[in-house]
């Protein structure tokens, strides 16, 4: 018996190999089915990059021009692929340049694993060159973070990082690896994926009594209204959600991160919620008798004033994150759990109904909005083009099949309002944080996450200048993204607020731009600039048909505003059409 035990131990030792901590990191990535990394090298992460030299056939590394570009690219990749994005950065400024992207990914529930290099362990706390306490800096903006000073920890910590980032409500994880751990040799016995962590429950236990209560409440409702967010997409529950609303005859409206979970042409898709959302969904929120929230968090841009929000309605809230339930809006029926599991459970108990008189109310509101807002946006009486007509022409050419990546500002709201989608994971934008500069690098990542799809970055003249250096990334890798700049020569959203609420006191919102076509040409990217309506359709077609990256600048009206609008401090039913 003792002899057999000794033989087993010898066999286990013989199966181990001696590798560096850096190589252990790369083996973990391969085991986790990672194919693409976005990053920027530096001194403290150099050993990992040295090891990567021998793994180029299995791991594709995209050299960005700024670490913020790297993490936004990782976000775009995660959002279109449904996988966890991976980002490399060095210590000090390299690591701190990730913070905005981490905050963005945290609030928008985007799975990322960020690997940062760190100074040697014996130098920690000495203010060594390019040393920052990135663990404490990023604690508020990560789902989990950890510092490794001993390479023996690398396989288990990497496994834990991927499990935490991608399970439950996804989010960003940061692993900081001291340089000594990167060069340290370890006996490597293989990699085991993590499937369980004590005290961490990514999916709460589903309580059937709440499922039954939700179904009963919906069955008894006269005016039920569904509002859905990105949770439907993250849960892969698009088909289940569609069955749910169709069986119950339930009108459904989306948050900007929920957009594309349900095809925009679906008869029960009644439009967009929020500050610049559609008239009907905002107005009728305060007339429904049952409000069913699915995978959304009742953000303030959706609710307006909470003391005037859906006070007449019973609220059902489905969410995988129990902390979101009752956080902003009190739920009468909380349905904890993964919506891919909870939605079918409710659907099975629903009465099949058609609620034509109720859904017709949304159509009536849309008719009002078309007359007051949309018709003029699509068919302007002025010589200057509107953002809406540009997006409308883009829809005609893409047939709703493209991935649209938007930056932040007026163009974002217009694109979200008017873009048409037939597939999920098609609308990529910075929702909760509202990060200007997001779109260009995120479009790069989005393309790597969906190589078979057309990717169009719709960007304002303000946002493009925040990360314009990523044109270099596009150039070097020949990333086939289409860049559509809607140039109104203003920081448009701030200007709109200053016009409406600050007596047109335009304080530092006039912004001059370079010749974008010339800049693009400097990066060996083809481009064009137009200002005449008669050139629009042909210019968009040329952009989409071009074999490779292409930049198109479209000059639009300087002082066009985005309506409808719920003014800050107002309730959703106080939405303005003009």
Active-site positions? 67, 129-130, 179, 493
- Checking 520-523 for CB contacts under 8 A at 24+ apart, the result is 520/471, 520/483, 520/551, 523/471, 523/472, 523/474, 523/475
CA angle 200, 206, 208 (to 5 degrees): 160
Q: What's the residue count for the chain? A: 578
Closest CA to 552 of 459, 454, 470, 484: 484
Question: Can you tell me whether residue 60 is helix, strand or coil?
Answer: strand
CB atoms within 10 A of CB 575: 26
Question: Can you tell me whether residue 310 is helix, strand or coil?
Answer: coil
Strands (E), 410-557: 427-428, 455-460, 481-487, 526-530, 550-555
Helices (H) and strands (E) in the chain, counts: 24, 20
Separation in Å, CA 378 to CA 391, 392, 554: 9, 7, 15
With beta carbons less than 8 A apart as the criterion, state whether 387 and 483 touch.
Answer: no
Peptide bond into 564 cis (omega under 30): yes
Separation in Å, CA 351 to CA 244, 272, 323, 347, 358: 11, 26, 30, 8, 16
CA angle 186, 187, 191 (to 5 degrees): 100
* Ordered DSSP codes for 361-427: HHHHHHHHHIIIIIHHHHS-SSSSB-HHHHHHHHHHHHTT-SEEEE-SSHHHHHHHHH---SSSS-E
Rounded Cα distance between 389 and 392, Å, is 5
* 360 burial level (CB within 10 Å; 0-12, 13-18, 19+): exposed
DSSP H stretches of helix in 97-207: 99-107, 134-138, 154-166, 179-183
Containing H/E element for 144?
strand 144-148
Structure tokens at 64: 């960005």
CA angle 325, 327, 329 (to 5 degrees): 80
Separation in Å, CA 356 to CA 251, 283, 292, 295, 362: 10, 18, 18, 26, 10
DSSP secondary structure letter of residue 372: I
Alpha-carbon dihedral sign for residues 55, 131, 70, 230: positive
CA angle 68, 70, 71 (to 5 degrees): 70
Rounded Cα distance between 413 and 408, Å, is 8
DSSP secondary structure letter of residue 292: E
């Amino acid at each position: 018996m003792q002899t057999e035990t000794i033989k087993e131990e010898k066999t286990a030792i013989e199966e181990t190999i001696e590798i560096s901590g850096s190589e252990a990191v790369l083996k973990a990535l391969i085991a986790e089915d990672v194919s693409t990394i976005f990053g920027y090298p530096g001194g403290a992460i150099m050993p990992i990059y040295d090891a990567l030299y021998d793994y180029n056939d299995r791991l594709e590394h995209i050299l960005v021009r700024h670490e913020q570009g790297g993490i936004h690219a990782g976000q775009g990749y995660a959002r279109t692929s449904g996988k966890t994005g991976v980002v490399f950065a060095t210590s000090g400024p390299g690591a701190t340049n990730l913070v905005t992207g981490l905050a963005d990914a945290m609030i928008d529930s985007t799975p990322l694993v960020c690997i940062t290099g760190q100074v040697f362990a014996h130098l920690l706390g000495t203010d060594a060159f390019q040393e920052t306490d990135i663990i404490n800096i990023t604690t508020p903006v990560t789902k989990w973070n950890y510092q490794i000073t001993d390479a023996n920890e690398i396989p288990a910590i990497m496994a834990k990082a991927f499990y935490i980032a991608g399970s439950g409500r996804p989010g960003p994880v940061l692993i900081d690896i001291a340089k000594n751990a990167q060069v340290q040799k370890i006996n490597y016995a293989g990699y085991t994926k993590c499937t369980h962590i004590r005290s961490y429950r990514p999916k709460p236990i589903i309580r059937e009594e709440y499922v039954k209560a939700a179904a009963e409440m919906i069955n008894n409702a006269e005016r039920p209204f569904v509002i859905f967010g990105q949770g439907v997409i993250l849960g892969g529950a698009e088909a289940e959600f569609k069955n749910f609303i169709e069986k119950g005859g339930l009108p459904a409206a989306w948050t900007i991160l929920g957009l594309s979970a349900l095809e925009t042409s679906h008869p029960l898709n009644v439009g967009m919620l929020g500050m610049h959302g559609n008239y009907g969904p905002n107005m009728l929120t305060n007339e429904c008798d049952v409000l069913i929230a699915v995978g959304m968090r009742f953000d303030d841009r959706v609710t307006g004033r909470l003391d005037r929000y859906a006070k007449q309605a019973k609220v059902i809230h489905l969410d995988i994150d129990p902390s979101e339930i009752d956080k902003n809006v009190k739920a009468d029926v909380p349905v904890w759990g993964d919506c891919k599991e909870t939605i079918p459970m409710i659907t099975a108990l629903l009465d099949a109904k058609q609620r034509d008189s109720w859904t017709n109310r949304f159509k009536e509101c849309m008719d009002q909005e078309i007359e007051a807002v949309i018709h003029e946006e699509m068919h302007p009486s002025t010589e200057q083009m509107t953002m809406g007509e540009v997006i409308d022409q883009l829809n005609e050419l893409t047939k709703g099949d493209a991935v649209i990546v938007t930056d932040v500002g007026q163009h974002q709201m217009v694109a979200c309002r008017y873009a048409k989608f037939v597939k999920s994971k098609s609308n990529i934008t910075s929702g909760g944080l509202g990060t200007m500069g997001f779109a260009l690098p995120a479009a790069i990542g989005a393309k790597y996450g969906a190589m078979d799809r057309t990717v169009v970055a719709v960007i304002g003249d303000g946002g493009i200048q925040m990360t314009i250096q990523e044109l270099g990334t596009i150039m070097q890798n020949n990333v086939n993204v289409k860049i559509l700049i809607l140039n109104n020569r203003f920081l448009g959203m701030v200007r709109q607020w200053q016009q409406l609420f600050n007596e047109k006191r335009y304080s530092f919102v006039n912004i001059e731009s370079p010749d974008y076509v010339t800049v693009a040409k400097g990066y060996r990217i083809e481009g064009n600039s137009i200002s005449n309506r008669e050139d629009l359709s042909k210019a968009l077609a040329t952009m989409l048909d071009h074999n490779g990256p292409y930049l198109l600048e479209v000059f639009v009206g300087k002082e066009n505003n985005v309506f409808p609008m719920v003014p800050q401090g107002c309730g959703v039913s106080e939405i303005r059409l003009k």
